[in-house]
Structure 1
Amino acid sequence: MARYELVSFHLCPYVQKAAIALRARGVDYDITYIDLSDKPDWFLAISPYGKVPLLRVGDDVIFESTVINEFIEETTEGPALLSTDPIQRAKERSWVAYGSDLNLPVYRLMVAEDAAEAGSEAKQVRDHMARLESNISEEGPWFMGDRFTLADAATAPPLQRLLWIDALAPRLRLFKDAPLVRAWASRLVEHPAVRASTVDDIHARFVAYLKGDHGVNAQEPPSWLVR
């Protein structure tokens, strides 16, 4: 099979999700970064939604991060990221969907314009953390138990961003009712596949974006973020 190429944007959590799966499976791959504010014609020609990630395999293109990760699981060798048991596999895939959907409330919190909006969005995030808390394996160390799965890969990017926001704005108390999730998130960001899934300066890029330092949209940091 042709060498894999991941088409990426530096801050995209969905790209990171795919990169985690590639790293966890030990796949040697190429990565191409694009500017989402100035998408190249070649990218628009092969991306049906105009979104990243894309996985190019020779002349073939696969899109949507969950599909990409299941393709990686099916076509590469390495530690299994999905169970072979039908029920357990379906449960893991269900939590993949939940973890991926968590990116939206995290993003809404990231772009909150004032303290009231941030408080409202933080409440939504805490509700999601409570839901994860009531379903996480108590034995751990990963969400489903002793195996790192695609559910962990999907949830690691939004949880990583929440840890960063929590450090910048602890008064939001994002993990107030979710100590198990907080501990899981801390383990996730130290997993070798997660650590290797981003550019080295991802934290600095994230903080700059959060504070409004992104090109033509540069602005003052939101009031809720200022200590």
Structure 2
Amino acid sequence: MSKLTLISFALCPFVQRAVIALKEKNVPFDVVYIDLANKPQWFLDISPLGKVPVLKVPRDRQEDAVVFESAVILEYLEETAPGVKLHPADPLERAQHRAWIEYGSAVLGDLYRFGSAKTATDLDGARQTLLQKFTRLEQTVVGPFFAGEKFSYVDAVFAPAFRQLDAVETVTDTGLLDAFPKVSDWRKALAARPSVKEAVPADFVDLYLLRLRGHEALVLKAAA
């Protein structure tokens, strides 16, 4: 496979999914960071939705192809990249994993609401929604990874969500996972994975907390 280029934004959890997959599959790639608040025209020209991640795929004697949307990028890598497979071989298990990937996207949405809440009502509402989702995950996770010993795309999807929680908990205790030992162990196993560690810039925590403070996030008020 020719060297790929991933168009990225430093804080985007959906980009992290693609980076984790590329590293798990040992696929060489370059990263180009952009500012989503000031998108360059060249990016808008190749990104139909104006979002990251975007994967540029070289083609012989042709213009580079573009693949967008993180779930599609993961599927493309699964079909084309050599080495380890990150989806189960069984069609039913593979379908179930894809469903849990969607669940992971919903958790990210809930975490965004939790992190951007400005009122106690909004913060508590987001907290209760997350607790409900973690309850279901506690009943499902096998350990040490989602489905057992083998790292999968579901793990690649949830790792960026837990990373956001890790960042917040460098300054204040959320208590979100206190009642969920299996999910807590899963979170730790993901945080220790080399591909997960290397999926963000070194200053990710500072950048993420700066963003939350810019949103006047209530969850950080206790740490102010």
Shift of the alpha carbon at 1:46?
A: 1.1
Shift of the alpha carbon at 1:177?
A: 2.8
In the alignment, does 2:137 pair up with 1:135?
no
Q: Which residue of 172, 179, 182 maps to 1:180?
A: 182
> 1:45-81 deviations in whole A, cap 9, x for unaligned?
1111110000000210001101101111111122220
Amino acid at match of 2:17: K
Shift of the alpha carbon at 1:89?
A: 1.3
In the alignment, does 2:155 pair up with 1:152?
yes
Q: Distance in 2 between matches of 1:36 and 1:174?
A: 29
| 1:84 alignment partner, SS class | coil
| 1:72-221 equivalences in 2 (<5 Å) | 72-137=77-142, 140-170=143-173, 172-212=174-214, 221=216
Contact 1:4 1:56 in 2 (8 A): yes
Q: Distance in 2 between matches of 1:121 and 1:167?
A: 20
Q: What is the RMSD of the two structures over their aligned residues, measured on CA atoms?
A: 1.5
| 1:23-102 equivalences in 2 (<5 Å) | 23-58=23-58, 59-102=64-107
Q: Distance in 2 between matches of 1:115 and 1:224?
A: 9
4+ residue runs of structure 1 moved beyond 4 angstroms? none
Unaligned runs of 5+ in 2: 59-63
Amino acid at match of 2:202: D
Contact 1:166 1:174 in 2 (8 A): no
Q: Distance in 1 between matches of 2:221 and 2:154?
A: 33
| 1:37 alignment partner, SS class | helix
Contact 2:115 2:217 in 1 (8 A): no
Q: Distance in 2 between matches of 1:208 and 1:78?
A: 38
Residue of structure 2 in register with 1:216 after alignment: none
The verdict on how the C-alpha distance between 1:223 and 1:14 changes in structure 2, with shifts beyond 3 A counting, is closer
Shift of the alpha carbon at 1:101?
A: 2.4
Contact 2:117 2:218 in 1 (8 A): no
Residue of structure 1 in register with 2:61 after alignment: none
> 1:81-120 deviations in whole A, cap 9, x for unaligned?
0111111211121111211222111111111113332122
Residue range with higher mean Cα deviation, 9-18 or 113-122:
113-122
Q: Distance in 1 between matches of 2:169 and 2:130?
A: 11
Contact 1:8 1:53 in 2 (8 A): yes
The verdict on how the C-alpha distance between 1:149 and 1:69 changes in structure 2, with shifts beyond 3 A counting, is same
Contact 2:56 2:65 in 1 (8 A): yes
| 1:211 alignment partner, SS class | helix
Report the identity percentage.
38
- Could you state the TM-score of these two structures normalised by the residue count of structure 2? 0.92
Residue range with higher mean Cα deviation, 84-93 or 32-41:
84-93
Shift of the alpha carbon at 1:223?
A: 4.1
> 1:166-201 deviations in whole A, cap 9, x for unaligned?
44332x421133211111111101101100111111
The verdict on how the C-alpha distance between 1:24 and 1:180 changes in structure 2, with shifts beyond 3 A counting, is same
Residue range with higher mean Cα deviation, 28-37 or 89-98:
89-98
The verdict on how the C-alpha distance between 1:222 and 1:89 changes in structure 2, with shifts beyond 3 A counting, is closer
Q: Distance in 1 between matches of 2:164 and 2:18?
A: 16
- Could you state the TM-score of these two structures normalised by the residue count of structure 1? 0.90
